[in-house]
């Protein structure tokens, strides 16, 4: 296996609230945010790649150039004619996000439409990371094809990580979303759920119920995030809680879970215990939510990769 983490999904043009009715353009998206943070958490001998589809227009080219400039390998991007990249706008109120989306012509919706390309992209990766959004943007048959390809990659030795990351507006209905989450978790070694979302989708009363469901599907590591509450971690050593990092002021919760996933995988990839990886992930997420936007370069200023 190559020392490589591949993140699969959709990167979009981000219009982030800059205050005073102004917006700042950037490029972001849950799994790309994870790739961006993972690149900064991993040593140089590890590669971080982004697997997706983009268009052949100027916006797509600018996105690819941005990724390359940030150290994320773009060899796993597939260009699709007559498509472009999606756009979303973030509005903030008391640190909490609301989103408006424009993704009708997003090339990323064709992520699983070329089986040969997909198999080649997944081959020999040490870690492969995807999310509930990755699944939600796909047509039902494409969703099944992606999960089947991930199952084959897992059988070949890749560690598959799945962040449930619910976006109800992207799904046809609650039942379809529930089945999608279970299908994604069933092909994953690591499942990264958020407890508040599990309460809504499955009616869980405790994180232990969340862990029971995903461990029953075959996951072997499950950190259950809980916003500002304690993290509940489960692996072969059992269940244990970790107190949340103290945060003075929450500015923007964008990419809290994405950065957590990046630091958690980076920790595991470099030989840390699950406990140490979880603590590092919580520390990074706590820093991210104290700044505006999905990507926060200031956190890493003065540090080397």
Average pLDDT of the residues of the chain: 94
Rounded-to-integer distance, Cα 260 and Cα 252, Å: 15
Q: Is the pLDDT of residue 145 over 90?
A: yes
Say how many residues make up the chain. 305
- Give me the pLDDT at residue 95, please: 58
- Give me the pLDDT at residue 19, please: 77
Residue 304's pLDDT band (boundaries 50, 70, 90)? very low
- Give me the pLDDT at residue 181, please: 98
| Structural domain of 203 | 2-10+32-51+110-294
Judge contact between 80 and 55, C-beta under 8 A. yes
Tens digits of residue pLDDT in 176-189:
999 999 999 999 99
Number of domains, the chain = 1
Residue 305's pLDDT band (boundaries 50, 70, 90)? very low
Domain annotation covers residue 96: no
Q: Which of 73, 163, 252, 258 is catalytic?
A: 258
Q: What is the pTM of this model?
A: 0.94
Tens digits of residue pLDDT in 99-108:
788 999 999 9
Domain annotation covers residue 254: yes
Domain annotation covers residue 239: yes
- Give me the pLDDT at residue 126, please: 98
Q: Is the pLDDT of residue 158 over 50?
A: yes
Domain annotation covers residue 171: yes
Residue 98's pLDDT band (boundaries 50, 70, 90)? confident
Domain annotation covers residue 235: yes
What CATH number has the domain bearing residue 147?
A: 3.40.1190.20
Rounded-to-integer distance, Cα 239 and Cα 69, Å: 40
Tens digits of residue pLDDT in 17-35:
777 888 888 999 999 999 9
Domain annotation covers residue 114: yes
Whether 57 sits among the annotated catalytic residues: the reply is: no
In three-state secondary structure terms, 142 is: helix
Domain annotation covers residue 61: no
- Give me the pLDDT at residue 303, please: 57
Domain annotation covers residue 85: no
């Amino acid at each position: 296996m190559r020392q490589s983490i591949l993140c699969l999904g959709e990167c979009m043009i981000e219009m982030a609230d800059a205050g005073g009715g102004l917006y700042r353009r950037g490029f972001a998206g849950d799994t790309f945010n994870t790739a961006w943070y993972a690149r900064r958490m991993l040593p140089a001998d590890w590669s971080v790649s982004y697997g997706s589809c983009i268009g052949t227009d100027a916006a797509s080219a600018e996105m690819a150039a941005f990724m390359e400039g940030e150290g994320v390998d773009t060899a796993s991007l597939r260009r699709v004619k007559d498509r472009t990249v999606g756009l979303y706008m973030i509005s903030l109120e008391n640190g909490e996000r609301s989103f408006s989306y424009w993704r009708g012509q997003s090339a990323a919706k064709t992520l699983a439409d070329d089986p040969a390309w997909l198999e080649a992209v997944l081959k020999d990766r040490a870690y492969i990371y995807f999310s509930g959004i990755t699944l939600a943007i796909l047509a039902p048959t494409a969703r099944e094809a992606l999960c089947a390809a991930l199952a084959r990659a897992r059988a070949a030795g890749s560690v598959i990580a799945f962040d449930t990351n619910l976006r109800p507006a992207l799904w046809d209905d609650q039942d379809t979303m529930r089945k999608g989450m279970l299908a994604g978790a069933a092909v994953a070694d690591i499942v990264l759920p958020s407890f508040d979302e599990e309460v809504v989708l499955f009616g869980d009363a405790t994180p232990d119920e969340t862990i029971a469901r995903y461990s029953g599907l075959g996951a072997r590591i499950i950190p259950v995030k809980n916003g500002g509450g304690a993290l509940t971690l489960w692996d072969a050593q059992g269940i244990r809680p970790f107190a949340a990092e103290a945060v003075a002021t929450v500015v923007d919760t964008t990419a809290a879970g994405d950065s957590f996933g990046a630091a958690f995988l980076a920790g595991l990839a470099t030989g840390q215990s699950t406990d140490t990886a979880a603590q590092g992930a919580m520390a990074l997420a706590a820093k991210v939510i104290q700044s505006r936007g999905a990507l926060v370069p200031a956190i890493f200023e003065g540090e080397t990769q």
